[in-house]
Amino acid sequence: DGRVLQYAGFQFLQHFPIFKADALATFLKTLEEGYVKENPYHTHVHAADVCNSIFFMTNAVGFWHSSHFTDNRRIAILLAALGHDVGHFARNNHFLAVTKHALATTYNDRSVLENFHTSSLFRILDSSRGPDGTDLLSDMSTEAYGKTRQAIVTWILATDTQSHLEALGEFRLKVTAMEEQAANRADSNAQQLAFDPMNNPKDQVEALSIFFRAADIGHSAKAWELHEAWSDRVSQEFHAQGDEERQLGLPISPLCDRTGFIMCKSQMGFLQFVCIPTWTCLAKFEHLLQVQNAPPEIVEADFRPEQSSKRQSFQAMTSIVTGRGSPAGGGGVVGLLSSTKSSRPSAVHGSESGTKTHRIAKYCLAQCESNFQEWKQQADSLSENPPTFAIGSSTTTPAANTSAAPPQAVETPASEEATATAAASSTTPAAAAAPAAAKAARPRRARLCRHQCRDRRRVHPT
């Protein structure tokens, strides 16, 4: 019935005694109404998806059930995830700056939308009151509220994709420090750890900032059908912005020109230069965190979740994103939140110890690499049957190659984009380096994806 954010938010937040049911219901209703449902991508469904993803990751690495993880920290994570894109109107920060939008003036062209989302979330929090007139967070002490607010601001600002690659590079240095200490575990236990996100609140906030960045592009690690649907949606938003820029006589922003757009090549670049490095770093972080804090027999344990349960969870969100009906065994977000133990709302205060290991590597990284291979197969098919684009009275055929295009879903600065494009001609990720025999054994798709077929028929404006 279109209330996926309200349902997901209530399932996660109702267990915290600080919330009064009436005030919580008012807050979630107002928050969901704050999202622009007509957007193809940045909607209340995306917010609910990010909330579920961030819960999965924090639970996977052991944060959620850690004794150093307070209820206020859990609340901050869930509120930030649910409200991280509230009010988004399908235009990016660059567009707001070049069109001299009022928000760009207010926030001095710096993380414009992220600052706007943060302030909008807190306005809704402050106005969400129960029958007794108290707001949602009125039972928090002044000190606790200050820390919760600071964490929410930090994590929502971290979803600014223009700083993604820089932040990922800095986080890699922290992970490298963890790796060096893990090389001699006895010494690591004997001295203060340089980066200890399990026990140090400041390091915890920094690590969770990367989690939020990953969750925000989390469709890259979802089942192929979901990833393809989300990719189509974000491309629709980009192209709508490009159309408006053309009408205004502005240069069309990178990734926003629908003329000659080829989905598979765009997504190859996005996964190769942004998503796979992000999930690789987080998978390594997950393992090193377990080395720091768990007995060896737990660190080396093998966790292989049942594929049927995993698939049921994927199908549940697929029914929401693609609009293809509810899967068997659960409808809409109900199936998403209840089909696997790791995403059950009751686990918020449950007794599960979180000892199952390497979930990010086995779920997220592996699926992201698989999605890359799907796009690469489509690009290989396209090189054999290149589409023809009609532009006015002329006809053009794009070059037939399978090199990755610049990242599709991350608005990188020009320097980073140029670096990524240059690397595309000489660098291939580990995911693309499958053995020749295995590649030959995989059946080649006989059809082009629907995006490419649609592009073949489209007559683009001049």
Question: Residue 108's pLDDT band (boundaries 50, 70, 90)?
Answer: very high
Q: Determine the pLDDT at residue 193.
A: 76
For range 22-47, the mean pLDDT: 96
pLDDT of res. 183: 78
What does the pLDDT read at residue 323?
53
pLDDT at residue 45 in the model? 97
Taking the C-alpha atoms of residue 125 and residue 34, their distance in angstroms, rounded to an integer, is 12
Q: Which residue has the higher pLDDT, 435 or 279?
A: 279
Adjacent-strand bridge partners of 3: none
Which carries the bigger pLDDT value, residue 383 or residue 428?
A: 383
Q: Stretch 193-200: mean pLDDT, rounded?
A: 88
Q: Give the pLDDT score at 366.
A: 97
Question: Is the pLDDT score of 251 beyond 90?
Answer: yes
Compute CA distances 119 → 110, 153, 162, 231, 237, whole Å: 14, 9, 20, 28, 23
Q: How many CA atoms lie within 13 A of 147 on its CB side?
A: 14
Read off the pLDDT of each residue in 446-455 and give the average, rounded to a whole number. 41
Name 389's bridge partners: 396
Over residues 244-254, the mean pLDDT reads 96
Considering only the C-alpha atoms of the chain, give the largest distance between any 2 of them, rounded to a whole number of Å.
74
The one catalytic residue among 42, 164, 227, 239? 42
**Per-residue model confidence (pLDDT) at position 321:** 53
Q: Is 94 a catalytic residue?
A: no
Q: What is the pLDDT of residues 259-284, one digit of tens each?
A: 999 999 999 999 999 999 999 999 99
- Name which residue leads in pLDDT, 340 or 234: 234
Sheet holding 459-460, edge to edge: 394-396, 389-391, 459-460
- Mean pLDDT, the chain, integer: 78
Residue 88 confidence (pLDDT) above 60: yes
CA atoms within 13 A on the CB side of 138: 13
CA distance 45 to 203: 30
Least confident piece of the model among 291-300, 322-331, 370-379:
322-331
* pLDDT score for 93: 97
Q: What is the mean pLDDT of residues 210-228?
A: 98
- Which of 131-135, 401-405, 445-449 is the least confident region? 445-449
Average pLDDT over residues 367-387: 91
pLDDT higher than threshold 80 for residue 422: no
pLDDT, position 448: 40
Residue 238 has pLDDT above 50, yes or no: yes
> What's the pLDDT at 1?
63
Mind listing the pLDDT tens digit for each residue in 143-170?
999 999 999 999 999 999 999 999 999 9
Q: Are strands 459-460 and 389-391 parallel, antiparallel or unpaired?
A: parallel
Per-residue confidence (pLDDT) for residue 298, from 0 to 100: 45
DSSP count for the chain of H helices, then E strands: 22, 3
Contact yes or no for 44/37 (Cβ under 8 A): yes
3-state secondary structure 167-184: HHHHHHHHHHHHHHHHCC
Q: How many Å apart are CA 21 and CA 136, to the nearest integer?
A: 9
Question: Mean per-residue pLDDT for 207-234?
Answer: 98
Position 295 scores a pLDDT of: 56
pLDDT tier for residue 388 given thresholds of 50, 70 and 90 = low
- pLDDT reported for residue 277: 98
Task: Give the model's pLDDT for residue 41.
Answer: 98
C-alpha 249/C-alpha 320 separation (Å) is: 37
Lowest mean pLDDT among 159-163, 370-374, 391-395: 391-395
Query: In the prediction, which pLDDT does 377 show?
Result: 96
Torsion angle of alpha carbons 36, 41, 44, 46, nearest 10°? -160
Of 253 and 292, the structure prediction assigns the larger pLDDT to 253
pLDDT band at 329 (very low <50, low <70, confident <90, very high): very low
For residue 80, give Cα distances in angstroms to 119, 139, 380: 11, 19, 40
Q: For the residues of 62-84, what is the DSSP string, one character each?
A: T-TT-TTS-HHHHHHHHHHHHHT
pLDDT at 441: 42
C-alpha dist (Å) from residue 171 to 62, 195, 354? 19, 10, 23
> What pLDDT is stored for residue 412 in this prediction?
38
Helices (H), 322-397: 332-338, 359, 366-384
